[in-house]
Amino acid sequence: MTHLEILKKFKKFKPFELGCFCISLCFILLLCFLDYRSVGSRFRARGLGVWFGSGSSSHPGHDRFGFLEMGRVEKCDIFDGSWVWDESYPLYEGKDCLLLDDGFRCSENGRVDRFYTKWRWQPKDCNLPRFDAKTMLERLRNRRLAFVGDSIGRNQWESLLCMLSTAVANKSSIYEVNGRPITKHSGFLVFKFADFNCTIEYYRAPFLVLQRRPPPGSPKQVRTTLKLDKMDWGAGKWKGADVIVLNSGHWWNYEKTTRAGCYFQEADGVKMNMSIETAYRKSIETILNWISKEVDTNKTQVIFRGYSPVHFRGGDWKSGGSCHLETLPDLSSSPVSPATMFYSNIIGSVLSKHENRSSSQTKLEFLNVTYMSSKRKDGHASVYYSGPKDGGPAPLHRQDCSHWCLPGVPDSWNELLYAVFLKREYSLAGISPATTVTASPPPV
């Protein structure tokens, strides 16, 4: 088309139409002079309900205390909050951490998106202290921290190993005391941070109470029993630790108990018709009694980490359930279903009753991560628990929507663990945290 033909086309426009065209053209040219990436990122962030790259929360103008600075008068539920985008995250990179199972290395196993690593948990009414690996290691010097529970507890344990290792220049000074590799292991693993003479330990005990052979005379379908009034055999190894992080829940279901021939036992009697809810409640009571009788809570801080929800869609782990297409959290403030809160509600109920009927309060802190984790359907390993060397990613019908990618959601659990750990440390030492730890959102 020649210049003359173009001019003839323009003559056909009415003055109003020509004016609109010119204004639109000027606007487009103006955009060319702007930083598109900055504008684009802000528009995308608005679509998600938060500002990408912003450490602020969804409650503008709301002044918050630092969690560590709060006294007995001020209260803050650190489990009530929202996920906010934070460009300073993740706290470590999986490729830089040697203390990580291949099954949690989602990025290395082919997951391309990185959104799931960029979210920080922001409590509604206070600010958490910024995680400082050096501070935590100094506080753990000459001490033991033990995780006890199922494979989700192992997920959290490996997360903390990676977070703490960022403060250690000589990575060879971190090692498993028995020379065992950090691959799937059925017993226990103890990693020592030699520069601080401290150990970060994991003990596999998915029920926390004792699983054993059934008593003589039990019905044929009873292959094993859970002794609801006895702690796991390994309890003697944990009770001397300075910090104990317990968890259970994922094995307390029909598939892992009754269907597998595992029934519930009290004293010498097998309870063939006892419900899982009743059995789980009794197991929590046993744990509280064990703490009261066996653990020196003046020395040992005992924490129970709540249930971590699963996010299978269209089935479960063995029937084609999936989560591989999830790339963003649920940023709504909608309540969580009663089914999701099942285990956490039982723990809360038992703790409340125990405190009401006991003259001396059992010192068990409840790290109730269920609500915050329920919003993170994007954070699971899905098909990325299997890497290229194992022929991965895994097939779509065999997804893992229970365990979490690392770095990822368990890092946030450990930030909460860090906060309650420091809170107790400073309280026992009579230290004012205001001059020691920054409790404001991290810089961006």
Q: Point out the least confidently predicted range of 7-16, 33-42, 66-75, 374-383.
A: 33-42
Q: What is the mean pLDDT of residues 107-123?
A: 96
Q: How confident is the model at residue 65 (pLDDT cuts 50, 70, 90)?
A: confident
Concerning whether 403 is annotated as a catalytic residue, the answer is yes
Q: How confident is the model at residue 116 (pLDDT cuts 50, 70, 90)?
A: very high
Q: What is the mean pLDDT of residues 363-385?
A: 96
Q: Point out the least confidently predicted range of 58-67, 89-98, 120-129, 424-433.
A: 58-67
Report pLDDT for 72.
56
- Please provide the distance, in angstroms rounded to a whole number, between the alpha carbons at the two ends of the chain: 51
Say what the pTM is.
Answer: 0.84
One-letter amino acid for residue 296 of the chain: D
Q: What is the mean pLDDT of residues 127-151?
A: 97
Concerning whether 54 is annotated as a catalytic residue, the answer is no
The one catalytic residue among 151, 185, 218, 242: 151
Report pLDDT for 12.
53
Q: Which of 22-26, 44-48, 247-251 has the highest mean pLDDT?
A: 247-251
Range 67-72 contact pairs with CB under 8 angstroms and sequence separation of 24 or more: 67/123, 67/126, 67/127, 67/128, 67/129, 67/419, 67/423, 67/439, 68/129, 68/419, 68/422, 68/423, 68/426, 68/433, 68/437, 68/439, 69/432, 69/433, 69/434, 69/439, 70/126
Measured CA to CA, the distance from residue 188 to residue 147 in angstroms comes to 10
Report pLDDT for 401.
96
pLDDT at position 180 over 60: yes
Q: What is the mean pLDDT of residues 203-217?
A: 96
Report pLDDT for 99.
94
Report pLDDT for 21.
53
Report pLDDT for 3.
45
Concerning whether 229 is annotated as a catalytic residue, the answer is no
Q: How confident is the model at residue 47 (pLDDT cuts 50, 70, 90)?
A: very low
The one catalytic residue among 101, 402, 403, 412: 403
Report pLDDT for 38.
36
The one catalytic residue among 86, 101, 150, 400: 400
30 or 394, which is more confident: 394
